[in-house]
Amino acid sequence: MAQRSIERGRRQVPLPNWLAGRLGVGRAVLHTPDDPAEDRALIARSLAFLFLAGATLSVVWLMLPHEQRTEDPGVIAMTAGAYAVGLLLFFGFDHLPQWVLKGSVTAATVVITGAIFSNHENGSVYVFFYLWATVYAFSYFTLRQALLQTAFVGVAFGAVLFIQRDVWQEEWARWLMVIGSTMAAGLLVRFLTGTLRHRSLHDPLTGLANRTLYLKKLDEALAVTDEDERPPSVAVLFLDLDGFKYVNDSLGHHVGDGLLTAVGDRLRATARPDDLTARFGGDEFALLCRDVDDEADALSIGQRINEALTEGFQVGDHELHISASVGVSISGTGGCDSGTLLRDADAAMYAAKARGRARCELFGDSLRQKMVERLEIENELRPALERDQFEIHYQPIVTLEDRHIVGVEALVRWRHPVRGLISPGDFIPIAEDTGLIVPIGRMVLYRACVQLAAWDASGGPLAGISLSVNLSARQLPHGELLANLDTALARARIAPDRLTLELTESILMDEESGPAETLAALRRRGVRLSLDDFGTGYSSLSYLQRFALDELKLDRSFVSGLGHGGSEDAITGAVLALAGALGVPVVAEGIEHEHQAQTLRRLGAQHGQGYLFARPALPDELERSLGGQPEMRLLAS
Ligand code: C2E
Ligand code: MG
Ligand code: MG
């Protein structure tokens, strides 16, 4: 089915492939110009070339030893005019208003017709003017106007040929040929214009509308008001396929393209006949629905799409399953423009992704509120860094055997003057987006190292423990990281092997950021590396070996399901056994209950971290909670 669709996509350009490629239309060119003006300019340039070539030919013709032709100042003026207009078109097309261009065509046609009627003998220049005018008219006038113009001049020719048949005699056949070939050229240019315009407004792979056409139609739909001048009710549905990248990466772009085409077909079939289906690029699609009753109506369209996609896709030999996260925004509350609608649908789509994918979310009040909050956090983050509003809490990591503290994980918090303590989950992703994670991460690393040195110096219960610090993807490609690390370790006088940097799977998977090089440099310094949140991502143990990691942190999601006699125990047991076989020690995160700690210990985990032992706390609170057994480093329970 998908293969057929691809074929159909190819057939949208009714030209053989070799010609389409040469002309720059159709599948041979995969990029799509965003602006139809590009096509206009392209055609105008070819016309200008045509016109200049025509004028050159007419000069040659004028110079031939014909009766008095070279001496005719009118003809010379015309030829010079032809050059001037050609150059004007060539260089000035982008800047000249449409009416000047159309006006010049009309003027040229009138001049030629007048000249023919006055039976001017030196017809060549006029023929070329005519050639230009006609081809031009076919490109930029409506088909009716262009045909009318051709007919108009054709009738003039006919009349002259008839009245002056003695003078024209052998010439008439040549003139008729000129008229015929000019019309053919005009029609060809018109066809190419249509193809180019179609290409500039459609996605070459799926044949769906592209973003430019979608925006145009959305603007048009929003401009229409009903008899009571009420604003239109338009819904924008924005779709992003879940996990499409994996299809592309694992099965190749050819299969990826086939899947996109099949999804495009499915969407078109699911949408109502009046809806516009578009592909914005990559795995992003959009639907434009007019006459939507209310939010529930819009949501039901989104849900219908989700349902339609649950049925698998046959792409070549592969049976593929894919879902989409759909974001919906609707107009109707007034003051809605296309940009806002799209932005809101985009935000709703991200919310759908965050809430587990394969679902549809509406951009409503709560999402709007969240976006406002996000924007506030974004704006306040930098000043917060300057005003030193961040603090670092430390959560102990203990041995499951006898609950000794072997280390702490540094966890950053934002002490907001109004909102109180903000947890990292609420600002780290924003800091990552804005790049502020780099200075924040630098600060955390430095302060945590200094704190570790202070515990060492105090000779208290926490002297000699190890320190774990989280690292974001954004910090990794930064050359600064290594320098910061060296500075922090040197200033705090800490041996590198007492520091563990926690990385998530997504960092390791991101080949582009080149983690391997930085990780190798970190390892050379003797710093330990840990795989954080194992079980939330791909859960591939291969990273442990590939990057020679020193530790695995089993995510809370693994731990929370333990001890109910379900399959979780078996899966966790298998992961722990594999890690054990690879010689990589495991820290189990988020242990809240005694039975979890017992089970994990039985299954072979060495270390644990969680509320059962201690919550993250400021250094002095942590020291206080250890008050009872300083030497043993045991937590007071
Ligand atoms: P993480 O690295 O997986 O840290 C463990 C998270 O689990 C912490 O959340 C911790 O408070 C929480 N936790 C520990 N024990 C339990 C438990 O028994 N039950 C439950 N429900 N939760 C427990 P926190 O502090 O909110 O941090 C969230 C995430 O923010 C961290 O996950 C880490 O990925 C990120 N993060 C924190 N500090 C930093 C930092 O300095 N830099 C970077 N890049 N990320 C950080
Ligand atoms: Mg961590
Ligand atoms: Mg974790």
How far does residue 412's CA lie from ligand 1's centre (Å)?
8
Interior/surface letters 247-271, b for 16+ CB within 10 angstroms, e for the rest: bbeebeeebbbbbbbbbbbbbbebb
pLDDT band of 6, cuts 50, 70, 90: very low
Phi-psi region of 278 (alpha: psi -120 to 50; beta: other; left: phi over 0): beta
Q: Looking at residues 501-506, what average pLDDT do you find?
A: 89
555 Cβ inside 6 Å of ligand 1: no
472 Cβ inside 6 Å of ligand 1: yes
Q: What is the mean pLDDT of the chain?
A: 81
CA–CA–CA angle 430, 384, 491 (5° rounding): 100
How far does residue 556's CA lie from ligand 3's centre (Å)?
7
| pLDDT, tens digit (0-9, with 9 covering 90-100), for 313-368 | 999 889 999 999 999 999 875 557 888 899 999 999 998 998 888 889 999 888 88
Can you tell me which residue has the tokens 């792409």? 315
How far does residue 533's CA lie from ligand 2's centre (Å)?
7
Task: Pick the atom of ligand 1 nearest to 592's CA.
Answer: 18
Ligand nearest to the CA of 609: 1
> Among the listed ranges 53-67, 246-260, 271-285, which one has the minimum average pLDDT value?
53-67
Residue 424: per-residue pLDDT = 96
Instruction: List CB-based neighbours of ion ligand 3 within 5 Å.
Output: 532-533, 589
pLDDT band of 30, cuts 50, 70, 90: very low
How far does residue 498's CA lie from ligand 2's centre (Å)?
16
| pLDDT, tens digit (0-9, with 9 covering 90-100), for 550-605 | 999 999 988 998 877 778 888 899 999 989 998 999 999 999 999 999 999 999 99
pLDDT band of 94, cuts 50, 70, 90: low
- Kindly report the protein residue whose alpha carbon is nearest to atom 20 of ligand 1: 590
Ligand nearest to the CA of 530: 2
Out of 392, 507, 555, 589, mutate this one to test ligand 1's pocket (max ligand atoms within 8 Å of CB): namely: 589
**What is the full DSSP assignment across 499-556?**
EEEEEEHHHHH-GGG-HHHHHHHHHHTT-EEEEEEETSS---THHHHHTT-SEEEE-H
C-beta neighbour count of 335 within 10 angstroms: 7
- Kindly report the protein residue whose alpha carbon is nearest to atom 8 of ligand 1: 411
Which residues are CB-contacts of 61 (< 8 A; sequence separation ≥ 6)? 69, 124
For residue 539, pLDDT over 90 is answered with no
Instruction: Decide the pairing of beta strands 528-534 and 499-504.
Output: parallel
Q: Looking at residues 4-23, what average pLDDT do you find?
A: 41
Task: Pick the atom of ligand 1 nearest to 412's CA.
Answer: 38
Euclidean distance between CA atoms 259 and 245, whole angstroms: 12
424 Cβ inside 6 Å of ligand 1: yes
Task: Select the more confidently predicted residue: 209 or 102.
Answer: 209
Task: Select the more confidently predicted residue: 230 or 541.
Answer: 541
How far does residue 366's CA lie from ligand 3's centre (Å)?
28
For residue 13, pLDDT over 50 is answered with no
Task: Select the more confidently predicted residue: 374 or 412.
Answer: 412
Residue 22: per-residue pLDDT = 46
- Kindly report the protein residue whose alpha carbon is nearest to atom 3 of ligand 1: 533
Euclidean distance between CA atoms 545 and 92, whole angstroms: 63
Residue 156: per-residue pLDDT = 72
Task: Pick the atom of ligand 1 nearest to 553's CA.
Answer: 3
- Kindly report the protein residue whose alpha carbon is nearest to atom 17 of ligand 1: 590
Handedness of CA 26, 29, 31, 36 (dihedral sign): negative
Residue 404 pairs in a beta bridge with 634
535 Cβ inside 6 Å of ligand 1: no
550 Cβ inside 6 Å of ligand 1: no
Q: Which of 292, 156, 128, 279 is nearest to 211 (CA)?
A: 279
Q: Looking at residues 523-548, what average pLDDT do you find?
A: 85
556 Cβ inside 6 Å of ligand 1: yes
Residue 12: per-residue pLDDT = 38
Task: Select the more confidently predicted residue: 392 or 106.
Answer: 392
Residue 72: per-residue pLDDT = 62
Residue 511: per-residue pLDDT = 65
335 Cβ inside 6 Å of ligand 1: no
Out of 428, 440, 600, 635, mutate this one to test ligand 1's pocket (max ligand atoms within 8 Å of CB): namely: 428
Q: 272, 383 in Cβ contact below 8 A?
A: no
User: Of the spans 95-99, 270-274, 617-621, which averages the highest pLDDT?
Assistant: 617-621
How far does residue 398's CA lie from ligand 3's centre (Å)?
15
Q: Which of 552, 544, 556, 558 is nearest to 508 (CA)?
A: 544
Q: Looking at residues 440-455, what average pLDDT do you find?
A: 96
How far does residue 533's CA lie from ligand 1's centre (Å)?
9
How far does residue 547's CA lie from ligand 3's centre (Å)?
18
- Kindly report the protein residue whose alpha carbon is nearest to atom 16 of ligand 1: 590
